[in-house]
Amino acid sequence: MEFKFDFDVNKENIEMLKEIIKENENKKGALMPVLHKAQKIFGYLPIEVQSIISEGLNIPLSEIYGVVTFYAQFSLIPKGKYEIGVCLGTACYVKGAQDIIDKIKDQLGVEIGGTTKDRKFSLEATRCIGACGLAPVMTVNEDVYGKLDVSEIDDIIEKYKG
């Protein structure tokens, strides 16, 4: 799924980003805080946003891209309003987490690491979240669903569609 960055739609956000850059342009170690704030503003860090940061902080675009792709908290694609995470730790995997992921992929038409066209849902396979006694476990934003069965997925997803 490809998402196109729209400069016209993001005019105000770009101005906010430029203000943040201006506040940080002479500070040592400014890149990480600027990237975090930019992601909060835009929801992700497309190359267009990285270019604005590159120009404003006078840091090579390749360096910024390297940082963005190295740290898992940064995303090159927009995340959905509802971020679904399915734990693939050992306990969850053994108890059927892959079937849960397959059901979600089929229902939403999205791959792991992807976002639906309407930007409503993102799907991630996560590492152990420390809820092994509730395996298999799925999160939707801050909501946790444990001891899941594939038959429950439709109802859970429907709750967030409305």
In DSSP notation, 83-138 reads EEEEE-SHHHHHTTHHHHHHHHHHHHT--TT-B-TTSSEEEEEE---S-GGG-S-E
104 with 156, same domain: the answer is: yes
Report percent pLDDT > 70 for the chain: 99
Query: What is the C-alpha separation between 31 and 146, in angstroms, rounded?
Result: 38
Distance CA 9, CA 4 (A): 11
pTM beyond 0.85: the answer is no
52-88 pLDDT tens trace: 999 999 999 999 999 999 987 898 988 899 999 999 9
pLDDT for res 116? 93
Amino acid identity of 57? L
pLDDT at 162: 79
- Could you tell me which residues come within 8 angstroms of residue 32 by beta carbon, excluding any fewer than 6 positions away? 67
Binned at pLDDT 50, 70 and 90, residue 4 comes out as confident
Residue 39 has pLDDT above 90, yes or no: yes
**Domain end: 70, 98, 113, which one?**
70
Domain boundaries, position 142 = 82-161
**Do 110 and 51 lie in a common domain?**
no
Sequence length of the chain is 162
Taking the CB of residue 126, how many other CB atoms lie within 10 A of it? Answer: 16
For residue 3, being part of any structural domain is answered with no
| Residues 89 and 128 grouped into a single domain | yes
What pLDDT digit, counting tens, does each position of 143-157 carry? 999 999 999 999 999
pLDDT of residue 157: 96
Q: Using the predicted structure, report yes or no on whether residue 13 has a pLDDT greater than 60.
A: yes
Close Cβ partners of 108 (under 8 Å, ≥ 6 residues apart): 116, 121, 123, 157
* Rounded Cα gap, residues 126 and 6, in angstroms: 30
Token output for 90: 């050992």
- Quick check: 104 and 153 in contact, CB under 8 A? yes
Name the band, by pLDDT with cuts 50, 70 and 90, for residue 2.
low
- Total domain count, the chain: 2
Work out the pLDDT band at 1, boundaries 50, 70, 90: low
Same domain for 15 and 55? yes
Residue with tokens 């992700």: 44
